[in-house]
């Protein structure tokens, strides 16, 4: 091989290596997004979780999932992911495609701002549970019971507030964002939870008002606070009148709409009913352990 040919071969190889090295500096078209959020629960067949990144103020879907194990991975446009300032996880009807043109539902579960390559996410789009310590009170009384013994079955009714004429609200809870409602529950061991109804305001009757029928058969919506008397319309597997004494009481935060007969994973308040009926009251205390949280890495 002549010196000129050797020079030519060396130059070609040098150009190839230089081109390969330059290629390594180009960003790939997509990057990996990993979602690690603990505390999620199975949504059933009707709903899925969907991730969103906020890019220039607009939401971009990162994909849907129903597997709640940690480490959900998604391939996302690299330029958009690098420009994202926030991550949002919402609950969506199953069957949606998760296209970039879509927008998240009102039912946004966790949110967090990106700092560098990660975002710490928590329940921030449901309601502000950090300003005041959530709390509440309830009492046992059956105002819809118009039987001859004049409310002799107070252990079968639960109302969230303090007794009086009329009873008054006693919740320290934030106003919920759109897409969410509170719901009260009485847990019957070995049988399951029974809903007292959903509500968004604390000083008016809940959405279940009027469902309790007294022994005399007269419909009565009850007092202007959330609650329920368990006399009739007995669900399969339960026995009414229900004795609420000694049972666990739960206030949950539910997606709206919601088709589940059990409490959602967000259960900000827990309590236990004692043996005394009104005027005795019982406390509901904060259960922050039920709130999902985690990190999202890009």
Phi, psi values for residue 21, rounded to 5°: -65, -40
Helices (H), 106-236: none
Edge-to-edge strand ranges of the sheet holding 72-77: 58-65, 47-55, 86-93, 108-115, 118-121, 293-297, 30-38, 72-77
pLDDT digits (tens, 9 = 90+) for 74-121: 999 999 999 999 999 999 998 875 555 588 999 999 999 999 999 999
Q: List residues bridging with 214 in a β-sheet.
A: none
Q: Assess whether pLDDT exceeds 60 at residue 24.
A: no
pLDDT of residue 251: 98
Q: Assess whether pLDDT exceeds 80 at residue 2.
A: no
Q: How far apart, in Å, are the Cα atoms of 283 and each of 26, 96, 156, 229?
A: 60, 42, 18, 19
Cα(249)–Cα(69) distance, integer angstroms? 29
pLDDT of residue 131: 85
126 pLDDT tier (thresholds 50, 70, 90):
very high
Residues belonging to the chain: 298
pLDDT digits (tens, 9 = 90+) for 159-188: 999 999 889 999 999 999 999 999 999 999
Of the candidates 59, 275, 45, 37, the residue with the CA atom closest to the CA atom of residue 155 = 275
Of the candidates 43, 291, 294, 293, the residue with the CA atom closest to the CA atom of residue 174 = 291
pTM for the full predicted model? 0.82
pLDDT digits (tens, 9 = 90+) for 259-285: 788 999 999 999 999 999 999 999 999
Q: Assess whether pLDDT exceeds 50 at residue 237.
A: yes
Q: Assess whether pLDDT exceeds 90 at residue 208.
A: no
**8 A C-beta contact, residue 111 and residue 51:** no
Cα(14)–Cα(37) distance, integer angstroms? 48
Average pLDDT value for the chain: 85
pLDDT of residue 252: 97
């Amino acid at each position: 091989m002549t010196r000129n040919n050797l020079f030519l071969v060396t130059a070609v190889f040098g150009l190839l290596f230089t081109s390969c090295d330059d290629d390594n500096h180009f960003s790939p078209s997509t990057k990996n997004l990993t979602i690690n959020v603990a505390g999620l629960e199975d949504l059933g067949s009707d709903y899925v979780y969907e991730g969103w990144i906020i890019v220039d103020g607009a939401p971009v879907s990162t994909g849907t999932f129903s597997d709640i194990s940690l480490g959900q991975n998604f391939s996302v446009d690299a330029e958009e992911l690098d420009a994202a300032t926030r991550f949002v996880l919402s609950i969506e009807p199953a069957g949606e495609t998760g296209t970039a043109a879509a927008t998240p539902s009102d039912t946004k579960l966790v949110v967090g701002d990106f700092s560098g390559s990660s975002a710490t996410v928590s329940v921030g789009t449901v309601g502000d549970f950090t300003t005041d310590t959530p709390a509440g009170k309830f009492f046992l009384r059956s105002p819809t019971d118009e039987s001859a013994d004049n409310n002799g079955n107070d252990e079968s009714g639960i109302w969230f507030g303090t007794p009086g004429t009329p009873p008054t609200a006693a919740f320290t809870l934030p106003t919920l964002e759109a897409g969410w409602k509170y719901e009260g529950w009485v847990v019957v061991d070995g049988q399951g939870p029974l809903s007292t109804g959903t509500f968004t305001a604390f000083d008016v009757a809940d959405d279940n008002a009027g469902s309790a029928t007294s022994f005399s058969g007269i419909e009565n919506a009850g007092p202007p606070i959330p609650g329920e008397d368990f006399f009739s319309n007995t669900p399969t597997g339960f026995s009414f009148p229900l004795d609420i004494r000694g049972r666990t009481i739960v206030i949950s935060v539910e997606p709206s709409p919601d088709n589940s007969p059990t409490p959602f994973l967000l259960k900000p308040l827990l309590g236990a009913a004692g043996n005394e009926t009104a005027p005795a009251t019982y406390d509901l205390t904060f259960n922050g352990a039920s709130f999902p949280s985690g990190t999202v890495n890009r």
